[in-house]
Amino acid sequence: MQSFQHYIGGDFKEAATHFDSLDPATEQPWAKMPSASVADVNAAVASAQNAFLSPEWALMSATARGKLLMRLADLVAENAQSLAELETRDTGKIIRETSAQIAYVADYYRYYAGLADKIEGAHLPIDKPDMEVWLRREPIGVVAAVVPWNSQLFLSAVKIGPALAAGCTVVLKASEEGPAPMLEFARIFDQAGFPKGVLSVLTGGPDIGAALTSHPDVAHVAFTGGPETARHIVRNSAENLASTSLELGGKSPFIVFDDADLESAVNAQVSGVFAATGQSCVSGSRLVVQAGIKDAFLARLKEKAEAVVMGSPDDMATEVGPLCTKAQRDNAMALIEKSVSQGAKVITGGQLPQGKGFYFPPTILDCDNAPDAASLSAEFFGPVLSVVSFETEAEAIEIANNTQFGLASGVFTQNLTRAHRMIRAIRAGIVWVNTYRAVSPIAPFGGHGLSGHGREGGIEAALDYTKVKAVWLRTSDDPIPDPFVMR
C-alpha cells in the first residue's frame, strides 16, 4: 500500500501512528495515512508563527508573494491529472469531475496571485487640519484551515490562496476521510519556493482539530463542514479569540416556474443534485416546482435519473460513483426510510445496489403529502432529491425560505421581473437564475444561518485574512495643546 507523510514546517514528517484509508469503490484499504498528534499540531503552529514573523515572509513584497502563488498555480495545473486520480481513488468522486475541477483550481491560485498586490488601504479625509490619517491592511496572522474530504483541493484553494496573498501563514488540517490529495498537494507546494513554515498540512481526528482551532497562536479559523462541528470550532475559538469564517451545509431550494425552459431546468436539476454523487454543500436537494408542470417535470427527471451511469469512479463514462463512506450511505438510507414513514413517496431509487462499494442510486422523493418529512430539512450529502409543489410565487418563496440553512438557491423562469423579485426574497448567499452549480474565483461564495458566515472567493475572501491599522501623523510644528483634552 502507498504511505503518506505530514508536511510540517517545510519538511515531510513520519507520524507515530497511521490508519488505513479505504477505497470507496471496493471497500478495501489502499493506503496508509499519517495520524497527527497534538505535538504535531503544536510544531506546525509554531513553524507557522515563526514564518509569519520572519523577515523572509513578513517583509516580502506583495508582488513577490503573488509570483510565488503564480508558480504554485502552474504546478497545480501541471499535476492536475495525478491529483485528480488520487482524489478519485481516496474519496470515490468520479474522475470526470475531479479532472475538471482540479484543473480549474489552478485559476483560483492565479486569481489570488494577481490580487496579492491589490489589497489596498485608504487615506481618510479626517476632520482635523493638522493630521494625516490612513489605513493599512495587514495580515491577520496564523490561519487554521480545516477542510472536509469533498472537493478538498478546491476548498483549500479558497483558503490558502487569499490567506497567502494577504501575507498570512496557514496550518491546514485535511479530513481523515480521504486526505491523500491534500497530503500530495503538500509535495507540490514544497516545489513552489515559499519560505519554510508558510504552509503545513496534516490530518487526524476531532482531537487534532480541537487542538488546532483553540491554539493560542492561531488568529483566524477558516472551516468548511457541518454546523455541529462548526459549533465546536466556535467554542474552541473562545480560547484564542480567533476570528472565524464558516462555510457550512445547505438544503438549497431549486425553484421551477411553469414558464421555465423545462429541458434546461431538468438538466440543471440533474447537475444540481446528482453530480458529485450529491456530495456537495450547494446540492439543489429541494425541488420546488409549480403544480401545473410537476408531473411533466418529474417524468423527464425520472427518465434522466434512471439513465444515469453508475459505476467505477475511475471510468470517464461514470456519472455517479460511490459515496465516500459507509456511514454516509447508511445515513442516507435511514433518512429515506424515515421520510417514507412520514408519508413521502419514492419516485425512483431508494434501494441499495448489490455488490461491493458504497454506491447509492439517484433517488427522488415526492413529499407533497409529507410536509414534515426528514428529507426536506436534513442534509443528505448524497444523490437524493425531495420534491414539493407550489401554486403561487408567494408560496414558492415561503417554501424556499423554510429552512435553517441559506447557502445556495436556483430559480428557473423566463419572466425577468419575477426573477428579480425572487432574487430579493430568497434568503441565501447564492442565487443562480436559469443555471446552477456555477463557480468562479472572482465571485464570493458563502451563506447565511446554519450555512455559516464569511465568504470564500473574490476579494472579500482576501479581506477576511486582514486587519485594519489606523495610522495618525501630526503635521503641525506647534506644541501639542492641552494634554488633558482628547483631540
Residues 173 and 198 in one domain: yes
Across residues 146-170, what is the average pLDDT?
96
Residues 366 and 380 in one domain: yes
Contact 324, 313 (CB under 8 A): no
For residue 74, the tally of other CB atoms under 10 A from its CB is 15
Residues 281-314 have pLDDT tens digits of 999 999 999 999 999 999 999 999 999 999 999 9
Residues 195 and 338 in one domain: no
Contacts of 485 (CB under 8 A, 6+ apart): none
Q: Is residue 481 part of a domain?
A: no
- CATH code at position 81: 3.40.605.10
Contact 97, 278 (CB under 8 A): no
pTM flag (> 0.85): yes
Residues 221 and 257 in one domain: no
List 97, 176, 177, 247, catalytic entry: 247
Tell me the pLDDT band of 442, cut-offs 50, 70 and 90. Answer: very high
- CATH code at position 293: 3.40.309.10
Residues 345 and 397 in one domain: yes
Across residues 431-448, what is the average pLDDT?
95
Across residues 125-141, what is the average pLDDT?
97
Residues 380 and 451 in one domain: no
Contact 430, 447 (CB under 8 A): yes
Q: Is residue 315 part of a domain?
A: yes
Q: Is the pLDDT of residue 434 over 90?
A: yes
Residues 15 and 119 in one domain: yes
Residues 30-53 have pLDDT tens digits of 999 999 999 999 999 999 999 999
Tell me the pLDDT band of 481, cut-offs 50, 70 and 90. Answer: confident
Contacts of 402 (CB under 8 A, 6+ apart): none
Considering its fold, how many domains does the chain have in total?
2
Structural domain for 331, as ranges? 253-433
Predicted pLDDT at 380: 85
Across residues 9-21, what is the average pLDDT?
94
Residues 335-388 have pLDDT tens digits of 999 999 999 999 999 999 989 999 999 999 999 999 999 999 998 889 999 999
Across residues 218-246, what is the average pLDDT?
95
Tell me the pLDDT band of 483, cut-offs 50, 70 and 90. Answer: confident
Tell me the pLDDT band of 265, cut-offs 50, 70 and 90. Answer: very high
Residues 404 and 423 in one domain: yes
Residues 317 and 393 in one domain: yes
The mean-pLDDT minimum among 183-197, 287-301, 318-332 falls in 318-332
In three-state form (DSSP H/G/I as H, E/B as E, the rest C), the secondary structure along the chain is CEECCEEECCEEECCCEEEEEEECCCCEEEEEEEECCHHHHHHHHHHHHHHHHCHHHHCCCHHHHHHHHHHHHHHHHHCHHHHHHHHHHHHCCCHHHHHHHHHHHHHHHHHHHHHHHHCCCEEECCCCCCEEEEEEEEECCEEEEECCCCCHHHHHHHHHHHHHHHCCEEEEEECCCCCHHHHHHHHHHHHCCCCCCCEEEEECCHHHHHHHHCCCCEEEEEEECCHHHHHHHHHHHHHHCCEEEEECCCCCEEEECCCCCHHHHHHHHHHHHHHHHHCCCCCCCEEEEEHHHHHHHHHHHHHHHHHCCECCCCCCCCCECCCCCHHHHHHHHHHHHHHHHCCCEEEECCCCCCCCCCCCCCEEEECCCCCCCHHHCCCCCCCEEEEEEECCHHHHHHHHCCCCCCCCCEEECCCHHHHHHHHHHCCCCCCEECCCCCCCCCCCECCCHHHEECCECHHHHHHHCEEEEEEEEECCCCCCCCCCCCC
Give Rg (Cα) of the chain.
24
Tell me the pLDDT band of 487, cut-offs 50, 70 and 90. Answer: confident
Residues 467 and 415 in one domain: no
Across residues 246-252, what is the average pLDDT?
94
Q: Is the pLDDT of residue 486 over 90?
A: no
Rounded Cα–Cα distance for residues 320 and 42 (Å) = 40
- Looking at every residue in the chain, the average pLDDT score rounds to 96
Residues 358 and 457 in one domain: no
Residues 135 and 268 in one domain: no
> Which among 382, 154, 348, 407 is positioned nearest to 275, based on CA atoms?
382
Let me know if 120 is a catalytic residue. Answer: no
Contact 373, 346 (CB under 8 A): no
Number of residues that this document lists for the chain? 487
Across residues 73-88, what is the average pLDDT?
96
